[in-house]
Structure 1
Amino acid sequence: MTVLPLSGVTVVTVEQAVAAPYATRQLADLGARVIKIERPGVGDFARHYDTTVHGQSSYFVWANRSKESVTLDLKTRAGRDVLEQLLGRADVFVQNLAPGAAARLDLDAASVARRHSSLILCTISGYGTTGPWADRKAYDLLVQCQTGLVSLTGTAEETARVGVSVADIAAGMYAYSGVLTALYTRATTGVARAVEVSLFEALAEWMGQPAYYTRHGGVQPPRMGTQHPTIAPYGAFTTGDGKQVLFSVQNEREWAALCERVLEKPELTDDPRFATGSDRVAHRGELDAIVAARFLRSGADELMELLEATGVANAGVNDVEEFLDHPVLAGRGRWREVAIPGAVVPALRPPADLTGVAPRMDPVPDVGEHTERVLTELGLSAARIEELRADGVI
């Protein structure tokens, strides 16, 4: 049996919501043992975002497979003592507690580092642990607004949020890669370096292109729905059977082929309004009218076949149900079954394939499912565990 890359690495995480759980789930995918500390009784509040997956939260099921759930009341001395024992055996400690909470519990990076010098510490915050907004709460949509992403998303008439938790996901990805880098650094130098990621700065990095465009162009890219603000033609158009097909022209060769074989107007290549990419953007309205009229003469399947044969990238505009049935996911064997409390559900394999390594895709835990087993591993007696339960610590 192949040994997973992070087998033997233990991660203890005091996490909730999406960013930290997504980061640690990816560590678990690679074989790390992830011990998730939750509140007694209720657990991670993301467990209660919805109940759509056989009574479980869609967010929680997505971000928490392959973990062990241990309930501890960290506001009690006994709960923090158990956590200290776990940290003494761990390689990585991740936390995304609310502003100020980690320091009040003596779990901020500086405090934990003094007690566990070889432990890799990962802190995920909203706006950073220092600076003028260190004490502000931050959730995904708030950060989408603060980075300007919402101002770029939607139509000319109305802004819109991105349809997934993009700030949380960005922060989770940087926390994941930061922890991997810190593990490599510790293995090669012996130094355990702390990792800090904020939702705001993670999404700020993803705003790099519009930031450059706005700073140096004097105006930000306009909101254009499914059209591209700086490339034309590039967007979705309605077909004769009422569906939508999106296509993209990236260079002059593709533009000439589109004019001749799809639009059936080869003379457009000599039209000064459309001579260059910048010209086509400047005359987008006239160009879009030509494309729209042509698309209404054919059905979606016919147009996509023609665009494909012409060498122009294209796709139908799927809804989520169509995405779930996508032939690429089925044809490449991306679906696996994962157990959740009371059921089994399909889940997508992690996107990064490592040759010869199958990702770990173990069950999503119930609240406190592994508490007794983990505490027994620490050497606590059955009587002591019952005392902690009676006192509400676990």
Structure 2
Amino acid sequence: MLLPLDGVLVVSCEQAVAAPLASRQLADLGARVIKVERPGGGDFARRYDRTVRGLSSHFVWLNRSKESITLDLKDPADRAVMQDLIERADVFLQNYAPGAAERLGLGADQLRAARPELIHCSISGYGTSGPLRDAKAYDLLVQAETGLVSITGSEDAPAKSGIPAADIAAGMYAFSAVLAALYQRATTGTGATLHVNLFDSLLEWMGYPLYYTRYGGTQPRRAGTSHAAIAPYGTYRSGDATAVVLSVQNEREWQRFCEIVLDRPELMARPDFATQADRVAHRAELDELIDAALSGLDGGELLRRLDAAGIANARQRELADVIDHPQLLGRDRWTSVDTPAGEVQALRPPIEWSGVAARMDPVPAAGEHTRSILAEFGHPSS
């Protein structure tokens, strides 16, 4: 069976995380993605680390199922190749620094004047206007500017997200925007000019704390794995130090938590724990009582009681445990992809399409497909 985006050609001048994530997901669904890289090393994300058999973990994650061509876009001959690629493209994706695409003749107005059916998608740090338009926009900087750092971490110290949240947010919105534009073009014949930026994308994900702060007068406090408006909530440890995350969402659950999990039904009568707001206000005392009650239980018994009481819970796992997570193994979520350093394990795409096998083609070496693409598009190779 054909993949949903078979026949769609994406040409991407991409680097780092956001644009490669968007184009990889298009490739997962069958699009042909030609990744345009700089001569002399290509996408700088190739050199972030060397943990995957000498390759970058970021790059292996983001660049399977693509073809790589190296072009010097300041060279007239390579610029001609680029124009020919775009002439056949359905989608052009880029995340150059602000103004760079326009200087190279690759801006949306320039390209769509000749091909109004082209879908042109740009990803930037802060958008096309405003005082930060030209500012550098590394993921951590955007996490700081959007306030994510201020609500993440412990009470004593803020922390950045452990994943590149701003980059991932922008990549996801670019992916969904391109899909919507492809649908629009299928029905109208007209392409689209799309712009996504890291700042706006991550702010969308910050919706709840922004509303909480604007209308509540204070921002949610940093509380580790706890929650600003729910208690008990977060990580607790059994007597054998098993870390378990749990959440009590309403008064019925609070009653069952006291009776079945803590074996302390008398706590239900305490007025300082009567409502969610009361428990949040007295969180420190509440947590002290919970810790004392759980100290006599091992991890297995604690999980059994939580399940019996219908209390939402999970194991707090280290990444080494996640690799062999029973949910991943039980659903056969690991598969393999080829890379320039040999075969590696990779997670299947999160979109499951009934009757369609996931595309898991190799991760390319820098410029691996330069000769074949040049030949296909009628250009001699040097």
TM-score (norm 1): 0.95
Shift of 1:238: 2.1
Amino acid at match of 2:41: V
Deviation digits for residues 341-372 of structure 1 (CA, Å, limit 9, x no counterpart):
12111111111211111121100000111111
- Given that residues 87 and 116 in structure 1 are in contact (C-alpha distance below 8 angstroms), is that contact kept between their aligned partners in structure 2? no
Deviations 1:269-319, CA, capped at 9 Å, x for gaps: 222111111111111111111111112111222211211121111112111
Letter in 2 for 1:115: A
Equivalent position of 1:189 in the other structure: 188
Cα displacement (A) at 1:249: 0.8
One-letter identity of the residue aligned with 1:353:
E
Kindly indicate whether the alpha-carbon contact (under 8 Å) linking 2:260 and 2:308 is maintained by their aligned counterparts in 1: no
Using the TM superposition, give the Cα deviation of residue 99 of structure 1 relative to its aligned residue in structure 2, in angstroms.
2.0
1:39 CA displacement: 0.7
Name the amino acid aligned to 1:64.
N
- Asked if the contact 1:246–1:316 (Cα under 8 Å) also holds between the matched residues in 2, the reply is yes
Q: Is the Cα–Cα contact under 8 Å of residues 339 and 363 in structure 1 kept in the other structure?
A: yes
Determine helix, strand or coil for the equivalent of 1:343.
coil
**Percent of residue pairs bearing the same amino acid type:** 59
C-alpha separation in 1, matches of 2:111 and 2:205 = 31
Instruction: Give the 3-state SS of the residue equivalent to 1:130 in structure 2.
Output: coil
Amino acid at match of 2:256: A
Q: CA deviation at 1:131?
A: 2.2
> What runs of 5+ residues in structure 1 fail to find an aligned partner?
387-394
Tell me what 1:152 maps to.
151
**Superposed structure 1 runs of 4+ greater than 3 Å apart:** none
Rounded Cα–Cα distance in structure 2 between residues aligned with 1:354 and 1:316: 29
Residue 232 (structure 2) pairs with residue 223 (structure 1)? no
What amino acid is aligned across from residue 385 of structure 1 in structure 2? S
Match in the other structure for 1:168: 167
Judge which range, 149-158 or 108-117, deviates more: 108-117
Aligned length: 382
Which SS does the other structure have where 1:315 is aligned? strand
SS in 1 for 2:161: coil
Aligned residue for 2:192, secondary structure, equals coil
For the residues of structure 1 that align with 2:236 and 2:36, how far apart are their CA atoms? 49
SS of 1:256 mapped into structure 2:
helix
Kindly provide the amino acid, as one letter, of the partner of residue 163 in structure 1. G
CA contact (8 A) 1:18 1:168 kept: yes
2:364 alignment counterpart: 365
Q: How does 1:325-344 map to 2 (within 5 A)?
A: 325-344=324-343
Q: Deviation digits for residues 101-121 of structure 1, max 9, x if unmatched?
A: 112112121222113221100
Please give the secondary structure, in 1, of the residue aligned with 2:337. strand
TM-aligned CA deviation for residue 34 of structure 1: 0.2
Structure 1 position 72 matched with structure 2 position 71: yes
* SS, match of residue 255 in structure 1: helix
CA RMSD of aligned residues (A): 0.9
Question: Contact 1:141 / 1:161 at 8 angstroms: preserved in 2?
Answer: yes
1:60 aligns with 59
What SS does the corresponding residue of 1:374 show, helix, strand or coil? Answer: helix
Give the corresponding residue for 2:381: 385
Which residues of 2 match residues 257-336 of structure 1 at below 5 A? 257-336=256-335
User: CA offsets per residue over residues 56-107 of structure 1, 9 Å max, x none?
Assistant: 1000000000000000001111111100000000100000001221121121
Give per-residue Cα distances to partners, 1:182-231, cap 9 Å, x unaligned: 00000011121111100000000000000000000000000001111110
Alpha-carbon contact 2:55-2:341 (below 8 Å) kept = no
